[in-house]
C-alpha cells in the first residue's frame, strides 16, 4: 500500500528530514494556514504537523487520515480523544530536548539572577562610564549556590534541569504533580504549595492540559518569595499572563523568563511584548531549537512514521 504523506509545516524544523523507507508519495509545505489544512490533507493517510490545529471539525473531513506524527513533544494541538475513537494513531517526539531546554532555562535563570539585562542597559546608557568607581553596583546579584530550585514536571526535561541545578549547588524540589497523573517512580515530591513558598527559582516543565492551564495565577504569585524567579519554557497557557504582569509590576516576584506565550506568534500584539522591564526576558519559543535537538527531532519524526507503518508503533499518545 502506498501512503500519501503530507508535511504541513516543513519550515518549522531546520534539519534534514529523510523520506520514509516505504512506498509513499511525499508532499511538503513551508507553512500552512488554518483554512488550508483540509484541502492540503485531502487523501493523505499520514500527516506531519507541528502546531497545526487538528480538531474534530477538521478531522471529520479527512476520512483517509490514519496517522498524525507531531514534530514536537506537546500534542495539545490535536484532538486526541477524537483520534482515539476513530482509529487515528498520534505519535509525538520524546527525549529530543533534554539538553537544549534545560540549558535555555538556565540561560534565563542566570541572566535574571545576576541582573545581566539591567546591567547591560546601564552600560548602554553610559552610566558605568561616568562612575567614580571601577565597578558599578546598581542591581542585586545573587548566587545560585545554596538556593532552592522548584520544578513542576518530573519528566526527562525536568530531570535534566534538576541535574544542572544540583551542579550549581542548588537544592531541588519537585512539585507534587498538578496534572493528577501517576507520580513518576523514584521521585520524591513536595506539595505544590510548599514548593511555591520555598523556591527561589520556579521552573515549569509540564504539559499543557485542562488541569494545568493557568496553573500559576495571582494566588500562586502571592505565595511565592518576593525574590523568586519564574521560568516558563514549556507552554504559555500554564501561566495566567495578566497575573504575571501584575506580579512583576507589584513586585510579588523578582523576575520572570519566558520562552512561550498563549498565542504564538503574537501577530496582533501582546501585553508581554510591551513589558519593558529589565527583570523580564521573553524569547520567541526557541528553547527547544538547538541544531542538535532539531536534527534529533527530524530523525525521530520519521522513525515514528516508519514504526507505525511497519505495525510496531512507538511513542503513541492515543
- Tally of structural domains, the chain: 2
Please give the pLDDT value at position 48. Answer: 98
Predicted pLDDT at 207: 86
Is pLDDT above 60 for 32?
yes
Please tell me whether residues 82 and 115 are part of one structural domain.
no
* Residues identified as active-site: 235, 264, 285
List, in order, residues 6 or more apart from 298 with CB less than 8 Å away: 13, 15, 16, 17, 18, 71
CA 274 vs. chain centroid, Å, equals 21
- Give the total residue count for the chain: 318
pTM of the model: 0.84
CA distance 96 to 98: 6
| Residue 180 scores a pLDDT above 70 | no
Please give the share of the chain, as a percent, with pLDDT higher than 90. Answer: 91
Q: Which three cell numbers stand for residue 240?
A: 495566567
Are 44 and 172 members of one domain?
no
Cα–Cα distance measured from residue 198 to residue 146, given in angstroms and rounded to the nearest whole number: 12
Residues 199 and 224 grouped into a single domain: yes
Where in the sequence is the domain holding 158, given as residue range(s)? Answer: 100-282
Residues 135, 48, single domain; the answer is: no
Inside any domain, residue 217: yes
Per-residue model confidence (pLDDT) at position 177: 59
* Mean local confidence (pLDDT), 162-180: 88
Query: Which H or E run contains 300?
Result: helix 291-309
Q: Examine the domain organization and report whether 49 and 115 are in the same domain.
A: no
Does the structure show a pLDDT above 90 at 197? Answer: yes
> Does 143 score more than 90 pLDDT?
yes
Tell me, yes or no, whether 161 and 76 share the same domain.
no
Residue 170 has pLDDT above 70, yes or no: yes
CB 236 within 8 A of CB 211: no
Amino acid at each position: 500500500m502506498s501512503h500519501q504523506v503530507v508535511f504541513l509545516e516543513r519550515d518549522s524544523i531546520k534539519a534534514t528530514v529523510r523520506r520514509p523507507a516505504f512506498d509513499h508519495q511525499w508532499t511538503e509545505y513551508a507553512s500552512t494556514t488554518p483554512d488550508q489544512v483540509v484541502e492540503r490533507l485531502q487523501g493523505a493517510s499520514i500527516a506531519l504537523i507541528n502546531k497545526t490545529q487538528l480538531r474534530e471539525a477538521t478531522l471529520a473531513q479527512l476520512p483517509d487520515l490514519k496517522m498524525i506524527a507531531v514534530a514536537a513533544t506537546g500534542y495539545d494541538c490535536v484532538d486526541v480523544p477524537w483520534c482515539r475513537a476513530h482509529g487515528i494513531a498520534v505519535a509525538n517526539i520524546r527525549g529530543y530536548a533534554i539538553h537544549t531546554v534545560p540549558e535555555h532555562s538556565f540561560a534565563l535563570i542566570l541572566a535574571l539572577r545576576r541582573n545581566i539585562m539591567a546591567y547591560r542597559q546601564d552600560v548602554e546608557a553610559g552610566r558605568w562610564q561616568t562612575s567614580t568607581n571601577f565597578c558599578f553596583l546598581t542591581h542585586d546579584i545573587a548566587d545560585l549556590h545554596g538556593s532552592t530550585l522548584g520544578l513542576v514536571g518530573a519528566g526527562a526535561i525536568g530531570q535534566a534541569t534538576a541535574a544542572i541545578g544540583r551542579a550549581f549547588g542548588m537544592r531541588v524540589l519537585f512539585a507534587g504533580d498538578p496534572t493528577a497523573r501517576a507520580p513518576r517512580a523514584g521521585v520524591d515530591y513536595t506539595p505544590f504549595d510548599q514548593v511555591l513558598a520555598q523556591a527561589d527559582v520556579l521552573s515549569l516543565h509540564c504539559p499543557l492540559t485542562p488541569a494545568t492551564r493557568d496553573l500559576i495565577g495571582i494566588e500562586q504569585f502571592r505565595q511565592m518569595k518576593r525574590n523568586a524567579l519564574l521560568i516558563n519554557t514549556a507552554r504559555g497557557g500554564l501561566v495566567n499572563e495578566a497575573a504575571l504582569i501584575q506580579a512583576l509590576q507589584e513586585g510579588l516576584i523578582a523576575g520572570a523568563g519566558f520562552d512561550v506565550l498563549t498565542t504564538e506568534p503574537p501577530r496582533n500584539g501582546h501585553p508581554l511584548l510591551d513589558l519593558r522591564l529589565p527583570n523580564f526576558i521573553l524569547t520567541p519559543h526557541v528553547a527547544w531549537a538547538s541544531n542538535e535537538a532539531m536534527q534529533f527531532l527530524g530523525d525521530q519524526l520519521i522513525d515514528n512514521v516508519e514504526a507505525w507503518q511497519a505495525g510496531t508503533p512507538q511513542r503513541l499518545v492515543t
